[in-house]
A and B are shown apart, each in its own frame.
Chain A
Amino acid sequence: MKVYEESGCFDPHSIPDCQELMGLPGPTPTNCHNSLEDTLNVSSYNHHHHEDASAALDMEPHQHYLLDNTTNSHSHLIPYLTQDLPYDQSHWESFNVLPSSSSPEADAAATAAAGAYTTTPDLLSLFHLPRCSFLPNPSISFETTPGSPSVVYDPLFHLNLPPQPPVFRELLQSLPHGYTVPADDKDAAGVGGLYHDGDNGIIQFTRDISMAGRAKDRDKAGKTTKHFATERERRVHLNDKYQALRTMVPSPTKNDRASIVDDAIKYIKELLGTVRELQILVDKKRCGQERSKRLKTEDAASAADAGDVECKPLGDPDQCYNTSLRSSWLQRKSKDSEVDVRIVDDEVTIKLVQRKKINCLLFVSRLLDELQLDLQHVAGGNIGDYYSFLFNTKIYEGSSVYACAIANKLINVVDRQYAAAPPTNSTSL
């Protein structure tokens, strides 16, 4: 239940209310806070964030996130909400639904008052429920001024498709307002037809989950011609979302929904791996710097202590010696080439397959030099229509490259060569 209470929709119009709520952390917002905070132990998080949204603070949520990787999914709610998310405006604006009037304060407000999303000046806000479609002014949140910075976490987008899980309906039914559940009230709350009939469609959906097929007759009877329009719009919106998801993935393949989702899954896993890898690198780097700093100060301080320099009290060094083996793997595909990069500790294995057009060894080896990778072994050549190479390399001491960077650079180099080279080599061999 707590999930639904926390995950509300942010109404930019009630920013003043938000700030009010923030300023006085009264009983209502913190109630919800505490429940989550207890599970998270990030008590001072929300209070801090709006004061200092610098990157330094961002490290903590990452650590939290990384440490809590396997825990309850809800435990990530606050750390993520307290980050400053630059929303990719270009995608969302095309949907015309972006309530784009937030400011940093609003962002902070939205995130800090995680439980107080519902900041419309009505009793509903007390319940910390997400704003429902049948509230008096949902349309306002869409037609807000364009051009202003985007919302941090855009749950408002969900308003466009006002699906209410069954839980919501029960909650709403308990309201003293007379806000009615959409399924029962066909002419709900004078809202535009967008939500009205869309609700029917969605309720149909949720009914599908719970009571498979029983609602069929009832819904058929209730369909009006409006339904088709809203249903179509809903589909269009859904398709747009799929397309947006597709654009975020680096190498999208087919254009159908299943593969889009599949690519997204792979990409999320890859991003998780990259973040973890970067974290390890940063830690190693920091630890190395600290060690060298310590050594320098010690050399300066006491030359006689040569023997004791290495054995330190159990303060910092224990943190530094992370014994985690770094390993990552990712693939990148482009139209004509495919790159596979695997890193284990300090060994990088790169597999490159490209359509026979240019001999790319030169460029690849230049890139490897640039990336400070020491070639141990190379094998490959022309196989039928393709050039295929396998590079075994070692990372030079002190360099911190990560898989994603290698793969991206490599595929860029190869593709660039592709574009640059005229197709004259097709006659050879």
Chain B
Amino acid sequence: MGRRKLEDDDDNNNSKEFKSKNLQAERRRRQKLSDRLLTLRSLVPIITNMNKATIIDDAITYIQELQKTSQVLSEQLLEMEGSSEESVMPMKLEIDVAQHDMKKCGIKEEVKVSNIDGNKFLIKIIVEKKRGCFTQLIEAMNYLGFELSETNVTTFSGAMLFSSCVHGKYGDTLMVEHIEELLSEMMRSMKTSSQSAIELGNTN
């Protein structure tokens, strides 16, 4: 805070006009800093001395404590997670539920591709929702060399609607039918692979 004295002296000695604008700005800046320090001080529960330097120190200490606390807790959580057996059950239930819902609502699986402009396509896919099916879809898109410029995914009663505006990255023009075929192929393989996964009782 010795600086404050020095600056004031300088300002008084030098030309007031030019410096006063700066002075105001400087005062505001210091005010802003001190307000923020006050807020910091109010957050930290352990306060030793009440000045600028120690509040920074205390804040550092406090942050470290909090970090340590959160680490301890998260490790605890991991331990508990490792020893719990709950997570295995729900997944099987979900899948059965999903299949059931979709058939009930009459939603059919579908692949539809339409050409917008040259290399741009609008792809709409309805697929049964399963764990990781979105990832598989995106992988399929990647594999086909599509870049997704606009994507939208919604899920409803066990079905997932994927609609995206894509365009071919690699410049080779694909026919709509081709794309539809490829995508249906991929979906079928997705389905069979996931079914076998269920049968084997593995998680994805």
A positions within 8 Å CB-CB of B: 3, 7, 55, 58, 62, 73-77, 80-81, 83, 85-88, 91, 130, 153-155, 157-158, 161, 163-165, 201-202, 204-206, 208, 216, 219-220, 227, 231, 235, 237-238, 241-242, 244-245, 248-249, 257-258, 261-262, 264-265, 267-269, 271-272, 274-275, 278-279, 281-282, 285-286, 288-289, 292, 359, 361-362, 365-366, 369, 372, 374-382, 389, 396-400, 402, 404-405, 425, 428-429
Query: CB distance B70 to A245 under 8 Å?
Result: no
How many angstroms between the C-alpha atoms of A189 and B204 in the bound complex? Answer: 73
Closest 8 CB pairs of A and B: A381-B150, A398-B87, A76-B45, A278-B73, A205-B1, A271-B66, A378-B153, A7-B48
Partner of A288, one of B59, B60, B84, B135: B84
Flag B45-63 by CB within 8 Å of A: 1 or 0 each: 1111111111011011111
B positions within 8 Å CB-CB of A: 1-5, 29, 32-33, 36-37, 39-40, 43-54, 56-57, 59-70, 72-74, 76-77, 80-81, 83-87, 90-91, 131-132, 134-135, 138-139, 142, 147-155, 165, 167, 169, 204
Please list 17 pairs of residues, one from A and one from B, whose beta carbons are closer than 8 Å in the complex, sorted by A's number. A7-B48, A58-B69, A80-B65, A158-B48, A204-B2, A208-B4, A264-B40, A267-B63, A271-B63, A271-B70, A282-B77, A288-B86, A289-B80, A289-B83, A405-B74, A428-B169, A429-B147
Query: CB distance A257 to B149 under 8 Å?
Result: no
Q: Which residue of A lies closest to B51 (CB)?
A: A163
Query: CB distance A402 to B2 under 8 Å?
Result: no
Apart from A86-B68, A258-B29, 12 more pairs, CB < 8 Å: A62-B73, A80-B62, A153-B61, A157-B57, A164-B49, A201-B2, A257-B33, A261-B37, A271-B66, A362-B139, A396-B90, A402-B77
Query: CB distance B51 to A248 under 8 Å?
Result: no
Query: CB distance B72 to A216 under 8 Å?
Result: no
Q: Which residue of A lies closest to B76 (CB)?
A: A282
Q: Which residues of A contact B53 (CB under 8 A)?
A: 158, 161, 163, 237-238, 241
CB distance from A409 to the nearest CB of B (A): 13
Assuming A208-B1, A216-B5, is B63 touching A365 (CB within 8 A)? no
CB distance from B92 to the nearest CB of A (A): 12
Assuming A7-B48, A271-B66, A396-B91, is B5 touching A282 (CB within 8 A)? no
Query: CB distance B148 to A361 under 8 Å?
Result: yes
How many angstroms between the C-alpha atoms of A55 and B77 in the bound complex? Answer: 13
Q: Which residues of B contact A7 (CB under 8 A)?
A: 46-49
Query: CB distance B80 to A80 under 8 Å?
Result: no
Q: Which residue of A lies closest to B74 (CB)?
A: A278
Partner of A375, one of B3, B44, B85, B155: B155
Q: Which residue of B lies closest to A259 (CB)?
A: B36
Q: Which residues of B contact A227 (CB under 8 A)?
A: 2
Q: Which residues of A contact B37 (CB under 8 A)?
A: 261
Q: Which residues of B contact A58 (CB under 8 A)?
A: 69, 72
Q: Which residues of A contact B83 (CB under 8 A)?
A: 289
How many angstroms between the C-alpha atoms of A404 and B70 in the bound complex? Answer: 10
How many angstroms between the C-alpha atoms of A332 and B125 in the bound complex? Answer: 33
How many angstroms between the C-alpha atoms of A242 and B150 in the bound complex? Answer: 44
Q: Which residues of B contact A397 (CB under 8 A)?
A: 86-87, 90
CB distance from A367 to the nearest CB of B (A): 10
Query: CB distance B57 to A158 under 8 Å?
Result: yes
Partner of A3, one of B47, B86, B87: B47
Assuming A77-B46, A292-B86, is B5 touching A204 (CB within 8 A)? yes
Q: Which residues of B contact A216 (CB under 8 A)?
A: 5
Q: Which residues of A contact B60 (CB under 8 A)?
A: 91, 241, 244-245, 248
Query: CB distance B43 to A85 under 8 Å?
Result: no
Q: Which residue of A lies closest to B48 (CB)?
A: A7
Query: CB distance B48 to A268 under 8 Å?
Result: no
Query: CB distance A398 to B84 under 8 Å?
Result: yes
Q: Which residues of B contact A158 (CB under 8 A)?
A: 48-49, 53-54, 57
Most buried by B among A245, A282, A361, A428: A361
Q: Which residues of A contact B36 (CB under 8 A)?
A: 258, 261-262, 265
Q: Which residues of B contact A85 (CB under 8 A)?
A: 61, 64-65, 68
Q: Which residues of A contact B56 (CB under 8 A)?
A: 238, 241-242, 245
